[in-house]
Structure 1
Amino acid sequence: MITLLLLLAACLLTCLGQVSQKCAVEGWRGQPGGWRMKLRTPWLWSALMCLGLGLLVWLLVLQRLEVGIAYPMLSLNFVLITLVARFVFHEAVDRRHWAGVVLIITGVVLLGVEA
């Protein structure tokens, strides 16, 4: 049970890091200034923190699961990021993309049943 929670935490932290990256670059649009100003962006630091913590949690996951099972479970990130892209950033997601999401979820469920 703890392994599943760690795996979900790694996925969520990675996704939060990626969403923070998107928010950081969206905030940079139309802003004059060089890298100094961009390096002060809170979203950038949030991304670094989430991705760093996600890495540490991922190392804990790898101590408990075989990499052949654990790594495909990270494909849940594609599902979560697709949902965020659609419902938070209002990006278009076509039927083919949704079909891919369904296939990913199916694969994760099949792997989870075996693990």
Structure 2
Amino acid sequence: MSLLLLLIACLLTCLGQVAQKYAVESWRGADSSWADKLRTPWLWVALCALGAGLLVWLLVLQRLDVGIAYPMLSLNFVIITLIARFVFREHIDRRHWFGVALVLGGVALLGQHA
């Protein structure tokens, strides 16, 4: 159950980060006021996802040691890298992929203790 909650916290956080990207992209080139920017749906998706992610994260911290839980949030780097590559069509170099592989290895090692 703890690992499932951790995965949900990661996914909500990633959703929030992607929604932030979409929000600022929608502002690009637009001469809009802050009031207009605050009405951007993607901004509200980001706020809701990040808020929900925070609440789930608090549940995770009740169940797992912070020394195990927090490093496992590095899964966010993996998920966001995949989204950057396949959704935003960003170039990811070999060194970055190697870092992703190292993160996955570390998460696998930590997951054995959780």
Shorter-chain TM-score range: over 0.9
Does 2:32 match 1:33? yes
Unaligned stretches of 5+ residues in structure 1: none
Q: Aligned-residue CA RMSD in angstroms?
A: 0.5
Structure 1 match to 2:79: 80
Q: Aligned-pair distance for 1:49?
A: 0.2
Distance 2:113 2:59 in 1: 20
Amino acid at match of 1:103: L
- Count of equivalent residues: 114
- Find the aligned partners of 2:32 and 2:106 in 1 and give their Cα distance: 45
List aligned pairs for 1:44-63, cutoff 5 A.
44-63=43-62
d(CA) in 2 for partners of 1:33, 1:88: 26
Q: Residue 3 of structure 1 corresponds to which residue in structure 2?
A: 2
CA distance in 2, matches of 1:65, 1:79: 21
CA distance in 2, matches of 1:62, 1:41: 32
Q: Deviations over 1:42-73 (max 9, x none)?
A: 00000000000000000000000000000000
Counterparts of 1:58-73 in structure 2 under 5 Å?
Answer: 58-73=57-72
TM-score (norm 2): 0.98
Q: Deviations over 1:16-35 (max 9, x none)?
A: 00000000001111111111
Runs of 4+ with >3 A deviation: none
Give the % identical residues: 74
Structure 2: runs of 5 or more not aligned:
none
